[in-house]
Structure 1
Amino acid sequence: MRHATPAVVFGRLREDILRAVDSSAEREDLFARVNYYNKLTPGIADMPGVPLGKVDRSKSRYFIDLQEYLKYFPQSLRVDYCFGDVTWVPEVPSVVKSRPVAGENRNSVVLNLDKLRHFQVQRDAHPWSSKLPRAVWRGSLNNPLRAALVARHRDSRFADVGHIGAAHDGIAAKPFLSPADQLAYRYILSIEGCDVATNLKWIMASGSLCLMPKSRYETWFMEGRLQPGRHFIEVRDDFADLEEKIDMLESTPALAAEVVHNANRYVATFRSRARERLTSLLVLQKYFEATGQLPASAYTARFFA
């Protein structure tokens, strides 16, 4: 229905929505997020290549999520984008779902794409006291990090970890566990796959504690802002300290409770649909200003301070 609605209708709404910036009590946080997702500076020489009305529809989940916000802007504008699991930085400023955390990533302009898959939250009916005092992980062995975890801890009394699918290097698969099944454990491992770990958001929204190596990639969730010891407990890339970390957390329940509380608060910042829409529109407003397609606005000074 949104796609069938003429873009001119959304264009009339855009200015009304953006006026909410002036009355927002969270203006500083709002622009901090916008400038985190979009680090472009003015004066980009190359005009983006694709008219807004010609964005590729073949990857429908990405198309629908991008078009949700492009509809608010004049369809004569142009955009570059990379759909899929993007682990590199594009050569030209492009809208992406994911990007590397480290290094110069200015050309990667992050929007919340493929959000139906990445931003699902599970209901957790298990109080901490009833959860199993072990770590759990299930997934495919699509990178060396995950293979290292399974190789080292598949028989650990501290953890129930295993891969699904066919046997790998002589290691048999374990039965599938749904997110609801995994929430019966106190500690859930979040291990990056092709880019970010899709389970990170629902773990941090639950009453279980997230264990993971520090993120190499980030999305709209701003994984690069997560702090070890505050939002999650960091483990080594080879997982040699996993049992030690679980033992430490079991002996300091107050620390575990604090980390879970901080993680829940972090996830809560993404729960307002109105705030997420406003943030997304400002990210694109800055993109079109930086590429010289829209004139300076009331927000320009905040974009490029």
Structure 2
Amino acid sequence: MSWDSQHDRAFWISPEERIAFYLNRQELFEIDLAQYEEVKSKTHWNRKEMRLVAYQDYEYTFTHWYCKHIVHLPRIRNIRTLPFYKSYKDLHSLMNFFQAFDQAGKSHANTKYPLFYGEAGDTGGIPCIRKSRKSDDNTSVIFNFRSLRLTSPCSEAASVDIPWKKKKNDVIWRGATTGQEQRVVFVEKYFGKYDVGFASTKQKPHLNHLKKGKVTIKEQLRYKFIISLEGNDVASNLRWILSSNSVPIMTKPYWQSWIMEARLEPGVHYLQLNDDLSNLEEVLDWAVANDDACREIAENGKKYMSQFLDQNHDLPIQKMLLDEYAKRLTYNHN
């Protein structure tokens, strides 16, 4: 999808600044292979999710074909155990990694990149390439992994959205019990006051009393305001909310991903909750009294997200990132 004729680029970030951000502003990446193997062997998840991957090793394999032609299909993308494979995270991530080479050039195809397929796992200071990092993580590198889960819903949101004036002047949130206690605290506090609740409590069944019926993206977009809460890492609904005519309400982002959450500004791209989640009523009172300003915040979010949704613009940046990483990477074999 190309957004050049539809959106003002005032909110777009230069490719150079984006690359610097994703690379954590590091000039060199030195990886001691002994240390890498030690970190990889520490936990069950690291053994599964840390991989040294070269595009050249996969180019003519069944895995490459499967990622290119099968994984993205609507009936396949949400299956947790994919046909022929036990796991889906690696294939979803590999799909994005392969796509950069397939569509934007095959330079550095023989470089072995240290990919991490997981979410909140600790990679022990190894400059792994992953889909998200904490704000105080000074080593990890960000890539556009798991786009089927995080970015694809933006197209759905755009197709089913309604104009601002037709939306309910109210707030909604649905989500799982994943992550730290933030979501639990939020739902316990606001369950009886707003349309807020857990759609799934599989991980924490003792919270069944805080469940409410599942709602689709289309149904959530009937509301002007949608809560966005981080879970295991980034909030999975943030990208499609920003792509819509609704306004995200959220705390200052702690996790960073491909959309550079650190560059989002309260009052410009979203309405800010206190870290203790105590001020939702105040935020909504302000929002009701400042309807035009909120509509502009929704528009700003769409302009900001457009740079990540325009594949003609974004995919070359993904490949530039991999090229720059390869140029700065050295392995210590001692």
Same fold (TM over 0.5): yes
- 51 and 171 in structure 1: CA distance in 2 versus 1, 3 angstrom threshold: closer
Say which SS state the counterpart of residue 144 (structure 2) adopts: coil
CA distance in 1, matches of 2:125, 2:243: 35
Residue 228 (structure 1) aligns with: 266
Give the aligned residue type for 2:232. Answer: C
Deviations 1:201-227 (A, max 9, x none): 111111111100111101101111111
**Residue 261 of structure 1 pairs with residue 293 of structure 2:** no
CA distance in 1, matches of 2:287, 2:12: 37
Say which SS state the counterpart of residue 44 (structure 1) adopts: strand
CA distance in 2, matches of 1:154, 1:62: 35
**Residue 62 of structure 1 pairs with residue 93 of structure 2:** yes
Give the aligned residue type for 2:199. Answer: I
- Give the alignment's TM-score, normalised by structure 1: 0.79
Give the CA deviation at 1:254.
2.1
After the TM superposition, which residues 1-305 of structure 1 pair with which residues of structure 2 at under 5 Å, given as runs? Answer: 29-38=14-23, 39-42=25-28, 44=30, 46=32, 50-52=52-54, 53=56, 58=87, 59-70=90-101, 72-86=106-120, 88=122, 90-101=124-135, 103-105=136-138, 107-119=139-151, 120-121=153-154, 122=157, 123-142=159-178, 143-156=180-193, 159-166=194-201, 168-169=206-207, 171-292=209-330
- 243 and 40 in structure 1: CA distance in 2 versus 1, 3 angstrom threshold: same
Moved more, 235-244 or 67-76: 67-76
Give the CA deviation at 1:267.
0.8
CA distance in 1, matches of 2:330, 2:226: 45
Alignment gaps of 5+ in structure 1: 1-25, 294-305
Give the aligned residue type for 2:127. Answer: P
Give the CA deviation at 1:43.
6.5
Deviations 1:138-164 (A, max 9, x none): 0112231111111011111xx210012
Say which SS state the counterpart of residue 36 (structure 1) adopts: helix
- 254 and 75 in structure 1: CA distance in 2 versus 1, 3 angstrom threshold: closer
- 147 and 227 in structure 1: CA distance in 2 versus 1, 3 angstrom threshold: same
Give the CA deviation at 1:237.
2.8
Give the CA deviation at 1:117.
0.7
- Give the alignment's TM-score, normalised by structure 2: 0.72
Give the CA deviation at 1:112.
0.5
- 65 and 28 in structure 1: CA distance in 2 versus 1, 3 angstrom threshold: closer
User: Highest relative contact order (Cα 8 Å, sep 6+), 1 or 2?
Assistant: 2
Tell me how large the CA RMSD over aligned residues is: 2.5
CA distance in 2, matches of 1:45, 1:183: 45
Contact kept in structure 1, 2:172 and 2:223, CA below 8 Å: yes
Say which SS state the counterpart of residue 283 (structure 1) adopts: helix
Give the aligned residue type for 1:50. Answer: L
- 136 and 80 in structure 1: CA distance in 2 versus 1, 3 angstrom threshold: same
Q: How many residues align?
A: 264
Contact kept in structure 1, 2:177 and 2:200, CA below 8 Å: no
Residue 48 (structure 2) aligns with: none
Alignment gaps of 5+ in structure 2: 1-10, 37-50, 64-86
CA distance in 2, matches of 1:170, 1:263: 34
Give the CA deviation at 1:129.
2.1
CA distance in 2, matches of 1:231, 1:91: 32
Say which SS state the counterpart of residue 227 (structure 1) adopts: coil
Give the CA deviation at 1:28.
7.8
Give the aligned residue type for 1:194. Answer: N
- 27 and 97 in structure 1: CA distance in 2 versus 1, 3 angstrom threshold: closer
Give the aligned residue type for 1:162. Answer: G
Say which SS state the counterpart of residue 171 (structure 1) adopts: helix
Give the CA deviation at 1:124.
4.1
Give the CA deviation at 1:165.
3.0
